[in-house]
Amino acid sequence: MALYVEKFGGTSVGSVERIDAVARQVARTRSEGHDVVVVVSAMSGETNRLQAMATEVHARASARELDVLLSTGEQVTIALLAMALDKRGCAARSYTGAQVHILTDNIHGKARIMEIDAEPIRRDLAEGRVVVVAGFQGADCDGNITTLGRGGSDTTAVALAAALKADECRIFTDVDGVYTADPRIVPEARRLERITVEEMLELSSLGAKVLQTRSVEFAGKYRVPLRVLSAFEAGGGTLISYEEDDMEQALISGIAHNRDEAKLTILGVPDEPGIAVRILGPVADAHINVDMIIQNVGEDGSTNFTFTVHRNDFPKAMEILEKTAKDVKAREVRGADDIAKVSVIGVGMRSHAGVASTMFKTLAEEGINIQMISTSEIKISVVLADKYLELAVRTLHKAFGLDQGQEG
C-alpha cells in the first residue's frame, strides 16, 4: 500500500473523454490498494480563455479579481473527475485549494504556498476516498483566492506530496518524460531516464515548462520522490534524482529555451555607488523579477545598464524605468521584446572546461549574434534575436552530441 499524488495537466484533462480516461487510470491504481490524491489542471486552453476574457473587460484587471476568475478552470475539472470516478464505483471527493487549506502569501498571480494542513485529506483517505484537488490555487490568510503562477498545478502536486509524505509524486503530461530539449523544437531530442534535481531546476527556470520551477524547488527542499510520465501511454518516464553520483555524467544534460523575456536598457547613467539599487529597487518593489543584468561603463565615464524581465512585466518595467531615468538624469531608455534566451545545462560542466567556447563557436558559425551572456556553475545562457531561437537550439543540441543515436 502506497500513497501517490498524481497530477494531470491541461491536455490530459482536455475533454470529457480524457477526464474519463484519467478516472479509469486512477481507479486502477486505487484497485491495486493504493491511496491516491489527484491534482488536476484546467482543461487545456481554459486558463488562456479566461485571461483573454478578463483583458477584454478591463485591460488592467485587478490581480485579486483575476485570481478569482482564473481559479475557476480547475474547479470545473475537479468536479468532473470526481463524478467520473464515482461512476466507476470509486469513492471520491473534490476540493478547491482553499478547502484543503493551501495557505499562500497574498501576491496574487504568483502566490507562494506557505502551509498545507494535510489532516482533512488524510481523513478522507482513511475513509477510502480518492481526494481530487484543484491545482494552481490556494487562499491567503484573509481567505482571498490566490493563484500560483502559470503551470502552478505542478507545485500544488509536489507541495501536497511533501505535506502528505507521499511515496511518489507523479506528474502525468503530454510527453513521456523530460527530454534533452523541448521535443516540439528538436525532434531528435532524447528522453532522460533520470535527471538531477539541480539540473531540473535549471532546465525549468530557464524555460522548460514541463515542470514549474517552484515545484522543483519544493521537491528539492523536501526530497519528494518525483517522476514525469505520459498521461497517454505506459512507461517509466523520467525520475528526478537526488543522488548526483549514480548518474552517468554527461557533459550537457539538456538545452532550455525561453521566449518569455524582454530586455530593457538605460543609457548614460552616472557611474556612482548606489546606482544599481536606484535602477532595480523600484522594479523589485513592483514584484517584477529581474533575470539577467549587464552593466558596462562607456567612454565618457557614464554607465549603461541592461536587464531582462518577463514579457508580461515589460510594459510596467518600461514605465518604471522611464521614471527612474528622469530621477537619475539618464540619457535614454530602450526596450526590446524580440529576444529569446537559450541555455545549456549540465552538472558535468563543473569538471570540464570548454563548454562556453563550444557554445559560442557553434552560434558564430551559424551567424547568430549573442546579445547577453550569463553563467552559473552548471549552465550557460545567451540572449539572441528570437528569430534565431529554433536554429540555435537545434545546432547546439547536435554540437553537444545530444541528438538521438549520438554518443552523449
Nearest to 42 by CA among 73, 19, 87, 16: 73
| CB of 363 vs ligand ADP, minimal distance in Å | 20
Shortest Å, Cβ 73 to ligand ASP: 5
Smallest separation, CB 150 to ligand ASP (Å): 4
**Binds ligand ASP by CB under 6 A, chosen from 34, 101, 150, 278:** 150
CB count, 10 Å around CB of 203?
Answer: 29
Residue 312 CA to residue 136 CA, distance in Å, equals 19
Looking at residue 184, its amino acid is: R
Residue nearest to ligand ADP (CB): 9
Cβ 184 to ligand ADP shortest distance, Å: 4
Return the sign of the alpha-carbon dihedral for residues 54, 56, 58, 59: positive
Phi-psi region of 23 (alpha: psi -120 to 50; beta: other; left: phi over 0): alpha
Residues 207, 196: Cα–Cα separation, whole Å? 17
* Stated length of the chain: 408
| The binder of ligand ADP chosen from 101, 209, 310, 316 (CB under 6 A) | 209
Among 14, 97, 135, 151, binds Mg ion (CB under 5 A): 151
Compute the least distance from the CB of residue 85 to ligand ASP, in Å. 20
Q: Which of 179, 305, 307, 400 binds ligand ADP (CB under 6 A)?
A: 179
Contacts 24+ apart (CB under 8 A), 182-185: 182/208, 182/256, 182/257, 182/393, 185/257, 185/389, 185/390, 185/393, 185/394
Nearer to ligand ASP, 42 or 239 (CB): 42
Name which of 49 and 350 has its Cβ closer to ligand ASP: 49
CA within 13 Å, CB half, 404: 9
Q: Which is nearer to Mg ion, 8 or 307 (CB)?
A: 8
Residue nearest to Mg ion (CB): 151
CA 80 to chain centre: 26
Asked if 182 is part of the footprint of ligand ADP (rule: CB under 6 A), the reply reads yes
Is residue 220 a contact residue for ligand ASP (CB under 6 A)? no
User: Interface with ligand ASP by CB under 6 A: which residues?
Assistant: 9-10, 41-42, 47, 73, 135-136, 150-153
User: Interface with ligand ADP by CB under 6 A: which residues?
Assistant: 9-12, 41, 151, 173-175, 178-179, 181-182, 184, 203, 208-210, 254
